[in-house]
Amino acid sequence: MLTLNEAYKVYNKIAFQLPVEEVSLTTALNRVLSEDIITDINMPPFDKSAVDGYAFCADDQNKTLQVIDAVYAGSSSVKKVNHGTCIKITTGAPVPKGADAVVMIEDITDLGDGFIEINRKPAKSNICKMGEDIVSGETILEKGTLILPQQIAVLASAGNTKPKVFTLPRVAIIATGNEIIEPDREPNASQIRNSNSYNLLGQLLKIGITGNYMGIVADDKDDITGRLKNALNAQDIVIITGGVSVGEHDYIPYVLEELGLELQFDKLAIQPGKPVSFASSENKFCFGLSGNPVSSFLQFELLVKPLIYKIMNYEYKLPFIVTELSGTLKRKNAERLKFVPVKLDKKGAAREVAFNGSADIVGLTKADGFAMFPKDCEVLTTGEKVEVLLIL
Ligand code: AMP
Ligand code: MG
């Protein structure tokens, strides 16, 4: 049975990269840049006032200054500031010649007739200098950057309205199980509503991917084979839930091999989530996730998301923090790395939430993350450091 780290080593061998396409600024969110972005302008592009006030000579000994012009954002002044004079200026406007400081409007008295008095000289210049953030020709975003709203702002500033990015993978979701019904139906005594598919669609959407839901398949080897075959033809990644453990209806790992994929692993030393299979060919990837909802949620975060980012060329790091444990964690069997749903208190310490195991999706909704209970460790007590995988 592989450990989680050994599973990631399997990913290191994957060479497949998604193709490149051009997107607009409004569709760039959650994409990964396939090129460096170089700016054609300085940022700021000119010496710019950071405040509303009066531009003057910082070493001026006069307290009373004559206001000789006004300059607003989007315009500039042809006048030059000399000792004894100043120019009214708004935030974002270019600082006029001769001036090297801006006094804030709150720190002057308007004497009327075009004169002001400085009550308090500014402690700093209040000028954003041309090129102090970025100089024209510099690389401002590197290939492999995940585009979040702040990166979109940078692209816009640099005038790059058509960044080249890696395409999003096409991802299919299939649920299996004779007992599984759609959520709008009333279950009978032996049925379970399909929560996994909608959970996974949400997890995909959070990273910008609209998954293709392909419905529920019965525990029938031929049906599953047929549905998987269709899915693999049209998609890059197929996620199937249920039917991966050792029950007599659990065919998935065998079916994957029959379809020409190479089975990379079919269980991992993690708890919950041990039954999980991953199979791949050169350009197709298939996950068989557990039927239990918390397991499938965790397996997506631990395994599917890193694979998606890998083929999108983004070096994803799982969102771990190190914090203190509040309360005690105990167990007898420490053969696997255990993920314990925890809530972070006001000080950031992690406390176990009431949780009934891998089917308890309601318990999971109370958690901020999963504390890692390392393999071979049977007790963790209050105050000990734990790593927590945040649920973001
Ligand atoms: P399995 O992995 O097929 O053995 O399923 C493990 C448990 O998860 C069983 O109790 C299933 O009923 C349940 N389960 C399987 N698929 C789903 C699903 N799509 N949504 C919610 N629960 C499921
Ligand atoms: Mg099943």
Query: Can you give the chain as a three-state secondary structure string?
Result: CECHHHHHHHHHCCCCCCCEEECCHHHCCCCEECCCEECCCCECCCCEECCCEEEECCCCCCCEEEEEEEECCCCCCCCCCCCCEEEEECCCCECCCCCCEEEEHHHEEEEECCEEEECCCCCCCCEECCCCCECCCCEEECCCCECCHHHHHHHHHCCCCCCEEECCCCEEEEEECCCEECCCCCCCCCCEECCHHHHHHHHHHHCCCCCEEEEEECCCHHHHHHHHHHHHHHCCEEEEECCCCCCCCCCHHHHHHHCCCEEEEEEECEECCCEEEEEECCCCEEEEECCCHHHHHHHHHHHHHHHHHHHCCCCCCCCEEEEEEECCEECCCCCCEEEEEEEECCCCCEEECCCCCCCCHHHHCCCCEEEEECCCCCEECCCCEEEEEECC
Q: Among 173, 174, 180, which residue has the most ligand 1 atoms within 8 Å of its CB, making it the best to mutate?
A: 180
Q: Among 197, 292, 297, which residue has the most ligand 1 atoms within 8 Å of its CB, making it the best to mutate?
A: 292
Ligand 1 centre distance from Cα of residue 275 (Å): 12
Ligand 1 centre distance from Cα of residue 242 (Å): 5
Which of 242, 253, 247 is closest to 215 using CA atoms?
242
Ligand located closest to 357 CA: 1
Indicate the average pLDDT of the chain: 96
| Cross-strand pairs, 320 | 389
Ligand 2 centre distance from Cα of residue 277 (Å): 14
252 band by pLDDT with thresholds 50, 70 and 90: confident
Average pLDDT over residues 37-45: 94
Average pLDDT over residues 378-388: 98
Ligand located closest to 240 CA: 1
Average pLDDT over residues 214-241: 95
- Tens digit of pLDDT for each residue in 295-340? 999 999 999 999 999 999 999 999 999 999 999 999 999 999 999 9
What atom in ligand 1 is closest to the CA of residue 247? 4
pLDDT of residue 251: 80
- Tens digit of pLDDT for each residue in 166-209? 999 999 999 999 999 999 999 999 999 999 999 999 999 999 99
Cα angle, residue 277 at apex, residues 273 and 280 outer, rounded to 5°: 145
Ligand 1 centre distance from Cα of residue 375 (Å): 26
What atom in ligand 1 is closest to the CA of residue 179? 12
Q: Is 295 in the pocket of ligand 1 (CB under 6 A)?
A: no
Q: Is the pLDDT of residue 367 over 80?
A: yes
Average pLDDT over residues 266-271: 96
Q: Is 312 in the pocket of ligand 1 (CB under 6 A)?
A: no
pLDDT of residue 243: 86
> Which domains are seen in the chain, by residue range?
4-16+168-311 (3.40.980.10), 24-42+140-165 (3.90.105.10), 48-128 (2.170.190.11), 320-390 (2.40.340.10)
- Tens digit of pLDDT for each residue in 96-114? 999 999 999 999 999 999 9
Q: Is 260 in the pocket of ligand 1 (CB under 6 A)?
A: no
Q: Is the pLDDT of residue 247 over 90?
A: no
* CA within 13 Å, CB half, 53: 27
Q: Is 192 in the pocket of ligand 1 (CB under 6 A)?
A: yes
Q: Is 293 in the pocket of ligand 1 (CB under 6 A)?
A: yes
Q: Is 194 in the pocket of ligand 1 (CB under 6 A)?
A: yes
Q: Is the pLDDT of residue 246 over 70?
A: no
What atom in ligand 1 is closest to the CA of residue 292? 8
Q: Is 242 in the pocket of ligand 1 (CB under 6 A)?
A: yes
Q: Is 290 in the pocket of ligand 1 (CB under 6 A)?
A: yes
- Which amino acid appears at position 313 of this protein? N
